[in-house]
Every structure is written in structure tokens, then in C-alpha cells.
Chains A and B, each alone.
Chain A
Amino acid sequence: MKTLLILGAGTAGTMIAKKMSQKLDSQQWRIIVVDRNEQHYYQPGFLFLPFGSYKPQDVVQPKRRYIPNRVEFILSDIERIEPEANRVLLTENKRAISYDYLVIATGCDIRPEETEGLLDGGGWRNNIFDFYTYEGAVALSHFLEKWPGGRLVLNVAEMPIKCPVAPLEFLFLADEFFTRRGIRNKVELIYATPLSGAFTKPKSAALLGGLLEKKHIHLEPDFAISDVDSSANAIHSYDGRELPFDLLITIPVNGGAKVIGQSGMGNDLDFVPTDKFTLQSKKWPNIWVMGDAADIPASKAGAVVHFQLEVVVENILAHMAGRELHAKFDGHASCYIETGFNKALLIDFNYDTEPLPGHYPIPGIGPFSLLSESVINHWGKLGFRFMYWNLMMRGLPMPVPDKFSMAGKQA
């Protein structure tokens, strides 16, 4: 009996478990999934929690519900991965699992402790909140219910982060939220980012920058945070700028799972060096890396995992059969960007092509419009939650093409 071991049962781990359980002969292969958490969070929903438009129960389901019957699910932390010995040690009962193939899908998480004064300065979850965790987003929703207004600073500590458009979406939704509450004139919105503009890719950066201006959101570019001073309620940058705040929304440093670093398998932020096309580990040929855990230059987002899935399945099966790895991931990402007041943008891009205007997925028709605001895009975003739980996580086909295409795009 051979073993396929999957570390992590989030978006990537759940999807690959389902897919491989359909592909591998159960007489020859056992499939094991390890995760330390019982709950599966719909992470794109965290964005809506602070504003009360999603309730906590909308974004959480038991992980086991989406794990196929033939797959063994183990609830445990990982003590260490030993890639040279093809073995993983768990904290639960000190169990050791030997594997033939390993898929690392351990995701990434925030590390507020990396920024001086952020976690330990006295302001954490008093007037400093994150919305990249379930607890943070829920705590922020309670805070915002009663907040009378003031200076809201949103700071991205360092790139890369999960879902790089989420900070912008938060600000657009905040603009709407405070407008509807009738206190927009009492709220200043400031976006302090380490990037030189609103976004990384030129065409969308210009468009999103224009939207910020239109909505009276002040952009503070090239802001590399050095510390948070909660006694003065201000953040400082390494080049000596000071930004006072009444409410600080932080996107802290993002890192991979700490066990990756402890096992000597990661880069400086514990992301796993991975071939950006085959998604195979650069060092160990029987290890594949999916989703946020990889160091590849693609967005860290669920839609990206969806586009990676077929590549990983095909390449693992090819490797098992001793064939060459032909499947190549193209860096395809497709993101809805909420812009407030029931509108959204859609961007679709890959390693080589930046987001362009046009229509998606049917050229010339849509129904979704690329790089321009529309109500339909907003419903696409809200509809995605249904598709996530009912199609993606159940291994059913999604109504969008996997491969990036230039059709319908205006270069």
C-alpha cells in the first residue's frame, strides 16, 4: 500500500484530496489529509464580516464535510516534515506517517509579531484590527458598530500578502459603510502601502488609484512600516514619516506555516521554493506545493488554486507513471474587486499578461466586464460563495475556463 499525504485541508488540500481520491486506485493507494483545525473558513468572506454584510455562519463549515470517505482525516498539528526520510511527524500521539508522495497545502497566515508594537503595544484589538483572520474580522465588526468616526489608516506591512486586492476592497466598502451610516464626513480614509501605487500592475494601478481619489481615500505610497506607537496612536515608516490614527486596520506580514521553516524547507518567510510551472518542489521530486504555501509569483487566492488543480493532478500522475511533467501552470488569477455601492471590478491575468480591459469569460459578451465597474461583477463576487461551497469544494466543474486566454481582452 502506497501513501499520498496531504498537509492542510483548506481550499487547496480539500480540492486535491477529492481529485486524487477519484484518480488513485484504493487497493494500491491510501490518502491521508492532516489539518490542525476542524473548521473550514471561506476566507474571501472575511472581507464582508466587518461591515455586517456577511454573518459569521456564512463563512464557516466543518472541514470533514468536504473530505471524501476513502480519505483519512487526521486532526493534528505537524511537528516536523522530514523530506529526506519521506516522513512527517505529528504532534497528536507523536504519530509518524511515511509517504510516497506529499502535497504541501499549509497556506499562509499573518504574523503581527514581526512589526514592533503591533501585537504587544497595547492597541491590538482595541483600536488595531486585522481582517485576515476570522477572529480579527469578527472583532472588527463589533468595533465598527459603535465607532463614531475619526482617522482610519489601513496599512499593508510588507509584500507578498494573501489576496493583494483585499486591502483596496476593504477601503471601498468602508467608504460605502460610513456613507450609509451618515458619518462619512467624520471619517478620514488613508491607505499606507509599501507599493509605489495602488496596485502592482501598471494598468490596474492607474485605474484603482483613480477610484481611490474619486472616493476621497488618501494614498500614502512607499510606506514601509517600522513600528506602531500605541501611546501616541501613530505608525512610523523607516524613512521617518508619521501617520496618526484613531483606528488602524493592519495587513501584517504574511508568512507560510512555521513548520515549513522548522523543517528547513522554506525561504525567509517560510514559503516553499516551488517550480512556478510544474508546481513541484524545487528540491524534492515527490513533493508538490499548492496555493498560498508556494513561493511562486502568483496571487495567493482561492481562484488561483482552482486554476492550479488540474496541473498538479496531471503532473503527480505523470510522475507516478515515470513520465515527463507536461502540465504547466500559467499563473492565471481571476479576482473580483468590490468597489462599493453594489459594484465590482473583475481582473484576469497571468505570469505574462497584466490585467486588461474587455469581457469575461465570453469574448465581447461577458457577462462580466474586465477592469471596469459593474453591478453584474458584484453579483459574480457574491455568487462565488455559493460556487465555492457547492462546486469547488465538492470537486464539481466551475463555469469558467481554467486556462488564461487573450480572447475578449483589449491589449
Chain B
Amino acid sequence: MSEDILANIAFDADGFMTDANAWTPEIAHALAAREGIELTERHWVVLNYARAEFKAKGEAPTLRNITKNTDVSTKELYALFPGGPGKLAAKIAGLKKPTGCI
């Protein structure tokens, strides 16, 4: 995957896409490559769920919400998206940065 596909995409300061509608699965592959991740079927379970949730609620799902509504456990989430699964999954799914809870 090349970076070319990302050339015309708008990102915020933290690298999150500003328009979720501009996202395509090809873009997801390119974004994942940036993070050093190669997408597998298990990644797609999370990404598809995150996009569906975002469409329904306008907000990327929390880790708890993902593990409750898919068969992906928290441990697996951290293995799939090392570091911060919530932020990383949202980023690759083309969603805006999840709002931190205060």
C-alpha cells in the first residue's frame, strides 16, 4: 500500500480523518500501514463495528462497548491495535478522535 491514496485526505492535528465519509477500505489499509499494522479479518470485526456505531451515534465506541458487542476481548484488542486500541481503531476506521472522558 502506498501513501498516495492519503494525499488528498484531510486530517486533524492528531492524524484523524476529518470527514468519515471520505473513508474507504483501501484508505484503512494505508492508515494501518502508517501505524505498522497489517489488517486481518479480526481487525475488520473491530473496524466494521466501530464504523457502524459511529454512524448510529456520531461517536467512536469505547473499548468496553466494543468488547461487549463483538467477540473480540480486551486482550485481543490490545494485540490487534497495540498501544491505544480505542484511538487506533478509530483512526484507521476514518473516525474523528474519540472524546476523552473527564
Chain A: residues with CB nearer than 8 A to chain B?
A: 158-160, 164, 195-196, 200-201, 222, 224, 226, 238-239, 267-269, 297-299, 333
In the assembled complex, the Cα of A222 lies from the Cα of B64 at a distance in Å of 16
Closest Cβ of chain B to A167, distance in Å, is 13
Contact call B65/A268, Cβ cutoff below 8 A: yes
In this complex, how many residues of chain B approach chain A with their Cβ under 8 Å: the count is 16
A sample of 5 inter-chain contacts (CB < 8 A) reads A159-B100, A224-B74, A238-B78, A268-B62, A333-B102
Question: Which one of B75, B83, B99, B101 contacts A226 once the chains associate, using CB atoms below 8 Å?
Answer: B75
Assess A222 versus B75: contact at CB under 8 Å? Given A200-B102, A297-B99: no
CA gap between A298 and B101 in the complex, in Å: 8
Q: Which residues of B contact A (CB under 8 A)?
A: 62-65, 68, 74-75, 77-78, 82-84, 99-102
- Chain A-chain B contacts (Cβ-Cβ < 8 Å), number: 38
Inter-chain contacts of B65 with A (CB < 8 A): 267-268
Q: How far is the CB of B96 from chain A (nearest CB, A)?
A: 14
What CA separation (Å) do A238 and B64 show in the bound complex? 14
B78 touches A269 (CB 8 A): no
Give the chain A neighbours of B101 by CB distance below 8 A. Answer: 159-160, 200, 297
A201 touches B102 (CB 8 A): yes
Smallest CB-CB separation from A267: which chain B residue? Answer: B65
**Residues of chain B with a CB closer than 8 A to A160's CB:** 101-102
Q: A159-B100, A297-B101, A299-B102 in contact; A239/B82 too (CB < 8 A)? A: yes
B78 touches A224 (CB 8 A): yes
Q: Which of A159, A239, A267, A299 contacts B83 (CB 8 A)?
A: A239
- A226 with B74: in contact, given A158-B64, A268-B65, A269-B64 (CB under 8 Å)? yes
- Asked if B102 and A297 sit within 8 Å, CB to CB, the answer is yes
- Cβ of B74 and Cβ of A222 under 8 Å apart? no
Give the distance in Å from the alpha carbon of A159 to the alpha carbon of B63 in the complex.
Answer: 11
* Choice from A195, A196, A239, A299 contacting B78 with Cβ under 8 Å: A239
Selected from B62, B68, B75, B102, the residue in CB contact (under 8 A) with A164 is B102
Q: Smallest Cβ distance from A43 to chain B, in angstroms? A: 17
CB contacts (< 8 Å) of A200 on chain B: these are: 100-102
- Complex CA gap A239/B82 in Å reads 7
Complex alpha-carbon distance, A158 and B65, angstroms: 13
CB distance from A273 to the nearest CB of B (A): 9
Given A238-B74, A238-B75, decide whether A222 and B84 contact each other with a Cβ distance below 8 A. Answer: yes
- The 3 nearest A-B residue pairs measured at CB: A160-B101, A238-B78, A159-B101
In this complex, what residue of A is CB-closest to B76?
A238
A269 to B62, CA, bound (A): 11
- The answer to whether B100 touches A222 (Cβ under 8 A) is no
